[in-house]
Structure 1
Amino acid sequence: MNTELKVLVVDDEELARLRLRGLVQDCPSPKAQVVGEAANASQALVWLADRPCDLVLLDIHMPGLDGTQLAARIKQLPHPPAIVFVTAHAEHALQAFDLDAVDYLTKPVRRERLHAALQRVAQRLGQPHGAARAPAEAADEPVIVVNELGRKVRVPVSEVLYLKAELKYVTLRTATHTHVLDDALTDLEQRLGDRFLRIHRNALVARKALRALERRVLPAEGEDEAAEGWVVRVAPVDEWLVVSRRQVAAVKEAIAEGGL
């Protein structure tokens, strides 16, 4: 896609709209321009009735219709723009992806995260019509989009067993595949919500995949001597991941709630 992205910013806070305008204009690639602003859902719907745009940067908590309700209305338009939610609240992440949002950013928005979201929008708009969602994918199934060998792979969140930060990347593991993401683990944790549990500073695990918790001798780090620590088994791949001491109680509780 060679043309400039046309962006509508919807947020009830003027300073938030001003900051987003500046971040959008600073994006080196893809080029993007804020072509309109709205302080609430009613203003946004009036604006969209007369003018097209490629993307709506959408706050969630607003007077009147909230952002998720507005997103549902936008999806009914003849040519709906892409949606990226921008909010101070992380608890709506799964609902946002149910609405086929391209991304979910939490305030204060980091420049690199917004630019990554704009790149995802450009990639989606550059695909043939209908390629953004696989035909067999359930309409209400949230996904994680993986860029792999020049193509986009949409991994259903229900298939994700764990996400583990390693060096500059995050490994996403399903029962059959391993994918590599360049998203930050903290951002993924905010987007995925309560389905996943942070077991260590470098790992998120799907609650349903947690199995046995054991105490074992762990490999030494650096010059430290090997010491005992906690590990949890992730099913069905039968892999063991290290659990930090502060998260042991939470992992025990999650396993107990799973009836295991």
Structure 2
Amino acid sequence: MLMQPPLKVLIVDDESLARLRLRGLVETCPEPRAEVVAEAASAGQAQQWLSAHACDVVLLDVQMPGPDGLALAAQLRARAQRPELVFVTAHPQHAVQAFELEALDYLTKPVRRERLQASLQRVAQRLAERQRPTQAEAGGAEGDDSVISLTERGRVLRIPLAEVLYFKAELKYLTLRTAAAAHVMDGSLSELEQRLGERFLRIHRNALVAKAAVRELERHAAAEAGDGEGGGDSEPGWAVRIAHVNEWLAVSRRQVAAVREALARQSL
């Protein structure tokens, strides 16, 4: 069996003692193996380093002088190829915002080695999933027999992609919804959006839906609280109704036109 190379870790924290302690935890982690390839004392230093280098995961503090860790995470989110993000901070109140930025994990200081190891194991699992060839890359056409694999209560489930109605981000996990059940899985909506292509549509920062499952689009008062994008007015937001389960999901204003186009194509 080939030994996997160690995870490449960037530590971003304005406190030198915090960086030193975190480096020690990373380098004594037994599995997966990991090495600290660089340190940065600010978001600006980290951004400069990342513009010329690559790493697998960024261990990121929230509160720092200048742009904070959340601002750096928002910048990295827009990159096609970005490292995984694990926040390491003394401020637990930012957890919800961190997961909205698709952080893989959120650790509070003082960090325990076992807790950090669990986060790094998730990073290694995510990297392995990326390297696994999809059906299309293996030479087969993407079709109804393509599947999403996930682990649930110790079982490995293979869910046909044709049965998936939507994926929704729920803090640190994703919910995969079919007509029959809801399943919890690891992953990020950005990766799924790239992998699944034209069959799915990003309707909101927290939701990716199957185009074929969208039944109608309308102004919907219930969508107002869920639509955190694009303005703070009190008008009702937009929402789509999902087939089979008759659930309504919020649509961000910027995606309304794309949803209308998808509905129009279904009617052709």
TM-score range (shorter-chain normalised) is: 0.5 to 0.7
CA distance in structure 2 between the partners assigned to 1:155 and 1:29 by the alignment = 19
What residue in structure 2 maps to residue 154 of structure 1? 185
What residue in structure 1 maps to residue 62 of structure 2? 60
What residue in structure 2 maps to residue 23 of structure 1? 25
What residue in structure 1 maps to residue 100 of structure 2? 98
Q: SS at 2:32's partner residue?
A: coil
Report 1:77-116 matches (<5 A). 77-116=79-118
Matched, 1:137 2:139: no
Per-residue CA deviation, residues 1-30 of structure 1 (Å, 9 max, x unaligned), is 812100000000000000010000001110
Q: Is the 8 A contact 1:124 1:132 kept in 2?
A: no
Q: SS at 2:44's partner residue?
A: helix
TM-score with structure 2 setting the length: 0.51
1:42 and 1:126, CA in 2 relative to 1: closer, same or farther beyond 3 A? same
Q: CA offset at residue 74 of structure 1?
A: 1.1
Q: Is the 8 A contact 1:143 1:154 kept in 2?
A: no
Indicate the percent of aligned positions where both proteins have the same amino acid. Answer: 56
CA distance in structure 1 between the partners assigned to 2:80 and 2:66 by the alignment = 23
Matched, 1:128 2:130: yes
Structure 2 letter corresponding to 1:104 = Y
Q: CA offset at residue 142 of structure 1?
A: 2.1
After TM superposition, the structure 1 stretch with the greater mean CA deviation from structure 2, 42-51 or 119-128, is 119-128
CA distance in structure 1 between the partners assigned to 2:149 and 2:42 by the alignment = 28
Structure 2 letter corresponding to 1:72 = A
1:135 and 1:141, CA in 2 relative to 1: closer, same or farther beyond 3 A? farther
Q: SS at 1:53's partner residue?
A: coil
Q: SS at 2:31's partner residue?
A: coil
1:92 and 1:31, CA in 2 relative to 1: closer, same or farther beyond 3 A? same
CA distance in structure 2 between the partners assigned to 1:105 and 1:120 by the alignment = 13
TM-score with structure 1 setting the length: 0.53
Matched pairs, number:
150
Structure 2 letter corresponding to 1:137 = F
Matched, 1:46 2:77: no
CA distance in structure 1 between the partners assigned to 2:5 and 2:128 by the alignment = 10
Q: Is the 8 A contact 2:167 2:174 kept in 1?
A: no
> What is the RMSD computed on CA atoms of the aligned residues?
2.9
CA distance in structure 1 between the partners assigned to 2:106 and 2:68 by the alignment = 15
CA distance in structure 2 between the partners assigned to 1:107 and 1:141 by the alignment = 23
Per-residue CA deviation, residues 102-156 of structure 1 (Å, 9 max, x unaligned), is 1100001111101111001101111036979999223x5424379xxxxx94289
Gaps of 5+ in 2: 135-147, 151-163, 176-182, 188-268
